[in-house]
Each structure stands twice: as C-alpha cells, then as structure tokens.
Homo-oligomer: A and B are copies of this chain.
Amino acid sequence: MELSQCLPFWGSLSKEQQCLLEQSTVLNHVSKGQIIHNGTEDCVGILVLQTGQLRGYSLSSEGREVTLYRLFERDVCVLSAYCMLNSLQFDITVAAEKDSVFWRIPPNIYKSVMEQSAPMANYTTELIASRLSDVMWLLDQILYKHLDSRIAGFLVSEARLNGENTLNLTHEEIAHHLGSAREVVTRMLKYFANEGMVELGRGKVVLKDVDELERIGNESLR
C-alpha cells in the first residue's frame, strides 16, 4: 500500500506538494500498548494507518479514561496534529491496540500544503467532522443510556470487531473504554454472569447470549 492511496486528495496536488509530503513522511512501527501521542506533551503529526489498530482516548488527571474513537487500516488521525489547528483546545492520547505500522506526516508540512490546497483542506474538514460525530455519539451514550446498556453494547461490538465471542479484556480495561470505574463494571458483569449472558474468567469475558446482550445494548434511558 502507498501513502497516496490513503489520501483521496493526492491526485489534486502539484508534483512539488506531493514530493514535499513524501520526503517528510516517516514510516513508524509500534508494538501493542505503545503510546504514540500523549496530550499536549508532543504534536506528533498526521497519522495514516497502514496496518494494525489505534485507539484515541481522553485521560483525566485522576487516571480515568474513556475511548473516543478507533482507527483501522487506511484511517487517518488528525487530532494528534492538534498544534496545526488553533481551535483544537483539548488533550487526547493515542495508543496502539495492536502491533501497528503507520506513516507520520509532520504537522507543519501538512499545514503548509493544506493552506494552499482546497481539496486537502476540505478533506481535513471532513476528518474533524468525523471525530466530532464520534464524540457526539459517545456523549449521547453517556447522557441517555444506563451503564448496563453501555457495557452490553460494548461487549457485542468488541466481539464483532474481533470476530469471536471470547474477549481478552480485564474489568479495568472495560471501565477505561467506557469512562467508568472498575468496581461498577465488575458489579454489572457479575449480574450479566448470574443471568447466563456471559462467563467470566481471569482477564477475559466470554459472551454466551449475544442476542440478549444486544437487546440490552439497544435500550435507552427511561
């Protein structure tokens, strides 16, 4: 796969602009668990994922986490280049959920080309709008759903993502995805286990009744 295949505006750039981007782009290999972008400590740039899986999350000063979005093959991460946009006023962390390979375009280079190119700027607008939609979805979940519904929905979507009903996740990891506390997640998982919907093991959750979990996952508050 080439960088140019992942960037739909590529064909509209001049040869000079294409060269500038290609020459400054670096291919990175990271291992599962590695932190790629850490709040405002760095401004690593635009990430274009070749293989693997990345997770963008918010981290509170007290160590609580909530998953904001996930990135898969060919996805582009723009929030790790926050210094490129004056109006991005918040901290996120981006980490590898699987061993991953990605291109990194330095923020100043990306910005200098984007300022010249309407197609590239329009594409970037869509990227930011897409992240806004992710966060709006999350806000909706938090405001209008009970935690049982959010956990059930999360388990079903993780099983689909991984293509199997055994999830290698600790209760703490689930809490981090959902912005909740471990004790609260443990209590709810035990309830699901008592009802026969899941089986719990050390560092894993096995889904036994996906239909029922899905039904609960679709419930709204009240």
The oligomer's copy count stands at: 2
CB <8 Å contact, B144 and A142:
no
Name the B residues within 8 Å of A119 (CB-CB).
Answer: 115
Flag whether A126 is at the interface (Cβ < 8 A). yes
A86 nearest in chain B by CB position: B126
Flag whether A136 is at the interface (Cβ < 8 A). yes
Flag whether A35 is at the interface (Cβ < 8 A). no
Flag whether A62 is at the interface (Cβ < 8 A). yes
CB <8 Å contact, A87 and B142:
no
Interchain CA distance A179-B138 in the complex, whole Å: 14
Interchain CA distance A76-B121 in the complex, whole Å: 18
CB < 8 Å: which of B61, B121, B140, B142 contacts A220? B61
CB < 8 Å: which of B60, B133, B139, B179 contacts A87? B133
Interchain CA distance A132-B121 in the complex, whole Å: 17
Given contacts A121-B118, A125-B125, contact A144 B64 (CB under 8 A): yes
Name the B residues within 8 Å of A139 (CB-CB).
Answer: 58, 66, 135, 138-139, 142
CB < 8 Å: which of B58, B129, B138, B142 contacts A128? B129
CB <8 Å contact, B126 and A85:
yes
CB < 8 Å: which of B62, B66, B127 contacts A222? B62
CB <8 Å contact, A85 and B125:
yes
Name the B residues within 8 Å of A143 (CB-CB).
Answer: 58, 60, 64, 66, 142, 179
Which 10 pairs across A and B sit closest by C-beta, in order of nearness? Answer: A121-B121, A87-B130, A87-B129, A90-B136, A89-B133, A118-B118, A125-B125, A132-B132, A128-B128, A87-B126
The 19 listed contacts between A and B (C-beta, < 8 Å) are A58-B143, A60-B140, A60-B143, A60-B221, A62-B221, A64-B143, A66-B139, A87-B126, A88-B129, A88-B132, A90-B137, A114-B122, A118-B118, A121-B125, A128-B132, A131-B132, A135-B139, A138-B139, A142-B143
